[in-house]
A and B are shown apart, each in its own frame.
Chain A
């Protein structure tokens, strides 16, 4: 069969699939960021930290209460979502009238506090989290060995991403949300409680980060630094996709994951900068991002 630059196709397919798996994490995280930016106009720098909190909640549940992975999938996003709502109610809501920069600074500070607190308590090496029994093992696909858990991550995140996109773009509730971002006063006049809706949106956005944290726990170390490692790439994904564009976040997340996978075959040293090279090019050609619209 064909060989591309000396790389056999089996290797190529394998890397594309792995890229898709990493891409699902990017998609899930950037989706939450896009929802929050689109609806609240807040650049949520605490997203990575809340992703880390999600993973830690899963670990704490397992270690201290004996509650396994499937419970964590439910409980951890709820906990993170509630934390998010509390943050929005007490702090973020005071900043909506100010420049974006203030929201960014506040959430950045919060991220540092979360990380510092967990680092102080649990150290930097991280904690092990086992793969749930039902998803252990893997399939031999001929060109590669696919662990069942990774397959599950792709499926779960695609379902969640599509569900979110559908809820916001195709349902009545989503229509209210979008209307409220365009003209909050008018929507409020129709009898809809906009502040509550905004709080819930923020809560939902960060709950997605918490969920991604639980999904990541069995693959990576549950470590206080796990959010910092990922958040910058995720921001780049959002910028490339177009700030606030939900479809953009999903498609770009998956696409960049695969591009990164390919880079790891051809020139691994560059695998952590390829995303930023793409970002620079996109910003030069289409400043609003691939799926964004000019405001």
Chain B
């Protein structure tokens, strides 16, 4: 009996030792963890939709890469940095997860970035906007894919300035994200020669904005910049229409708006808004085709975050295929070497600070008369070329940039 056990153990040890030699993929599975908000305020713009997008990328490879199976796992971080951190740790330590994707909510993403850097795991950020993620807190394994606060501020700020709207007032969500967005936009407006009439900071999750809007109205600003997101932005825009702010000549700028926000607002309240986006489903045949497939599974058109998850996961899998291994250092080298080429990004390039450079788009929300039906929401006013859309890596404060 004892010898049988010994022989069995020996065999198992041999098999375990032999496995990595056969394929250069750890435990013979490439496991992708989609970590995001699945129940709270960001569940519509990321949530299950991001997981669907990741699965769609894997399916294009037949769920197999470099001879190993591709598996997608998902978890809800509930917008809490501590939950995000412990989930990421659990995935890496015991779950055999090779790469973490999405993670909207900058606070949660910053926590995961630290863990991914220490444990040498690749982190594909589509949801978070904080510029620190490709700045002071950058990582050789972390890639900020879809957008960031600088791109939002630069795109919308510059466009409105060019229309002669030079005096800004900010309605800002009073936490790290909102303040960073306000700061980036202020820098942009001032560098162009504009002025700031004032700012008001509101608590996260405010339902009544009338008081703040009235202060903005009284400030005499040309533009009211909404440095907030999700439900806060939606309520602010809706109530601005109610109080006749846009009719009286002031413009409203949603500094971070997703197509789900526009859908929630409805075109009568949202029409005319200027916004910057990394993706719109109705741009060319490729985007329309992909978005149609996405809609069949998710029941709605993709947001830029969801499309970004697809693009990032696809690029990662391409790199694994090319490197024939899931070893993080080798895959990262391949990811930086290969151009990002898919329906989301044309000739995208990853900079030293982990920022993926791709074209951004300045969009204006259509009027109800212009819209031909559900999800026909944006007019693409202009394409912002990749090299001016994002911050120069040298100025990002990322220690990896030499």
Contact = CB atoms under 8 A, between A and B. Distances in A.
Given A124-B41, A229-B207, A221 B244 contact: no
B242 A225 contact: no
B399 interface: no
B210 A268 contact: no
A149 interface: yes
A125 B202 contact: no
Given A138-B243, A147-B242, A225 B41 contact: yes
Contact of B39 (A119, A127, A149, A268): A119
B235 A220 contact: yes
Given A14-B214, A15-B211, A125-B260, A149 B206 contact: no
A128 interface: yes
Contact of A123 (B43, B235, B268, B269): B43
A178 interface: no
Interface of B: 39-45, 174, 200-203, 205-208, 210-212, 214-215, 217-218, 230-231, 234-235, 238-239, 242-244, 260-261, 263-266, 268-269
Interface in A213-234: 219-221, 223, 225-226, 229-230
Top 3 A-B residue pairs of the complex, sorted by shortest distance between their CB atoms: A128-B266, A125-B264, A264-B211
Contacts of B242: 131, 138, 147, 149-150, 219
Contacts of B244: 138, 145, 147
Contacts of B211: 15, 18-19, 261, 264-265, 268, 271
Given A126-B231, A272-B203, A221 B218 contact: no
B202 A268 contact: yes
Contacts of A11: 214-215, 218
A220 B202 contact: no
Interface string A254-290: 0000000100110011011000000000000000000
Nearest to A149: B242
A98 B365 CA distance: 56
Contacts of B268: 128, 130
Interface string A96-137: 000000000000000000000001000111111011000000
Contacts of A223: 231, 264
A95 interface: no
Nearest to A137: B244
Contacts of B235: 220-221
Nearest to B174: A269
A91 to B, nearest CB: 25
Contacts of B206: 271-272
A21 interface: yes
A132 to B, nearest CB: 13
Nearest to B260: A125
Contacts, number: 103
Contact of B231 (A145, A149, A221): A221
Given A128-B269, A145-B244, A264 B203 contact: no
14 contacts: A18-B210, A124-B40, A125-B45, A145-B243, A220-B207, A225-B231, A229-B205, A261-B211, A264-B211, A264-B212, A265-B211, A268-B174, A268-B211, A271-B203
A16 to B, nearest CB: 10
Nearest to B270: A128
Given A268-B202, A272-B203, A221 B214 contact: no
Interface string A190-234: 000000000000000000000000000001110101100110000
A219 to B, nearest CB: 7
A229 B242 CA distance: 21
B213 to A, nearest CB: 10
Nearest to B208: A22
A144 interface: yes
Nearest to B171: A268
Contacts of A230: 207
A226 B207 contact: yes
Contacts of A271: 202-203, 206, 211
A18 B207 contact: no
Nearest to A21: B210
B207 to A, nearest CB: 5
A144 B217 CA distance: 10
Contact of A18 (B44, B202, B214, B264): B214
B231 A125 contact: yes
B243, B261, B269: residue with the most chain A Cβ atoms closer than 10 Å? B243
Interface string A136-152: 00100000110101100
A125 B263 contact: yes
B200 to A, nearest CB: 5
B41 A268 contact: no
Contacts of B45: 125
Nearest to B45: A125
Contacts of A144: 214
A124 B210 contact: no
Contacts of A123: 43-44, 260
B200 A268 contact: yes
A230 B208 CA distance: 11
A238 B41 CA distance: 28
A30 to B, nearest CB: 16
Contact of B43 (A21, A124, A149, A265): A124
